[in-house]
Amino acid sequence: MRATRVGSPGSGKTSIVKQMQLMHNGCFSAGERSAHRSTILRNVVHAARDVARYMERAGLECVEEENQDIAGLILDFELPARGTVTSIPSEIVDAIDQLWRDPVCRMIVKDHAGDFCLMDSAPYFFDEVRRIGAPGYEPTDDDVLRAWETSVGIRETAVAAGDMAISIFDVSGRGGVPRKWIHCFDNVESVIFCMALSEYDEVIGEEKTQNRMAQSLALFETVVNSRWFARTPITLFLNKVDVLEQKLAKVPLEEYFPDYTGGADVDEAVKFIRTQFTQVNRAGGKVQTHLTQVTDTTSFKAVITEVQRTIRDSAQQLRLPVSMP
């Protein structure tokens, strides 16, 4: 069976597949964990450089005197653009750890992460930098779940869900024009669309003028009204509700969406954002919505089970052979 997952970078769509793998395999294999080592090491360094670059741009300095030079040290260090990264120099590990312990870094991550689209996993990786930067580092399942990977073009992942084999095709929302690829998936049994509830204040593009949630909404509108998916059930993941709840009190949603009147109430915010997406469904096709935190394996199991049931039911309607426990 075939499903396609669609969403902007950072929406959590890759984590959905990882959760499906965890749910049915119990853990990632040693090979899968090792395969993510380079990505995780890059995540740590890139996140630290993003913070240091924001400090430089904003004219901020570390509070602790002994930390004054570490932002520059981190900015001067660059990983190779290509190839596998196997380790981080110990002096850079020390610098990242020192930077994270400095109050100004904590303030930036807490209050200004949306200003420069800092990855949501940055605090986790900063907390774990000494373990991750140690010789012989082997990623854990949690590390793999939080690893952020860019997807270019169309990528297929095979997932074994009990007796059901699912081929999941990933389409990156970045810079892609939907009409160029959307027809490639006219025969899938399910569309999984993922958006991040916390992206309402984030901007993208070279000029930093396009609202990230507005981009996700435009992409969803194209997908949900496409003739190619007229008979295909769509599952909409409203992801990162935990990040949304933390952000609302500091960054008012109404500053970016003036029609919103619910203040810092996370339930009201979710209701408003869900409505923005469901009301563009002019085609009237079937859309299921799920409120998710895809890095939380326990709470996500029920959602994954429901998604797999949707795929199974769709396949049966098309009279495809399928079995599922």
Question: Annotated binding site for GTP, which residues?
Answer: 120-121, 239-242
Contact 216, 11 (CB under 8 A): yes
DSSP element (H, E) containing 201: none
Contact 100, 61 (CB under 8 A): no
Identify residue 19 by its one-letter amino acid code.
Q
Residue 23, classed as helix, strand or coil, is helix
Among 277, 107, 115, CA closest to 201? 115
Question: What are the distances in angstroms from CA 245 to CA 52, 196, 250, 289, 291?
Answer: 26, 12, 10, 18, 12
Residues annotated in the binding site for Mg(2+), as ranges?
Answer: 14, 151
Residues annotated in the binding site, as ranges?
Answer: 14, 120-121, 151, 239-242
Rounded Cα distance, 117 and 150, in Å: 14
> In the Cβ-directed half-sphere of 192, how many Cα atoms lie within 13 Å?
30
Q: Which residue has the tokens 């295909």?
A: 232
Residue 291, classed as helix, strand or coil, is strand
Strand 210-211 to strand 203-204: parallel, antiparallel, or no bridges (unpaired)? Answer: antiparallel
* Segment 86-91 long-range contacts (CB within 8 Å, at least 24 positions apart): 86/37, 86/38, 86/41, 87/41, 87/133, 87/135, 87/137, 88/41, 88/44, 88/45, 88/132, 88/133, 90/133
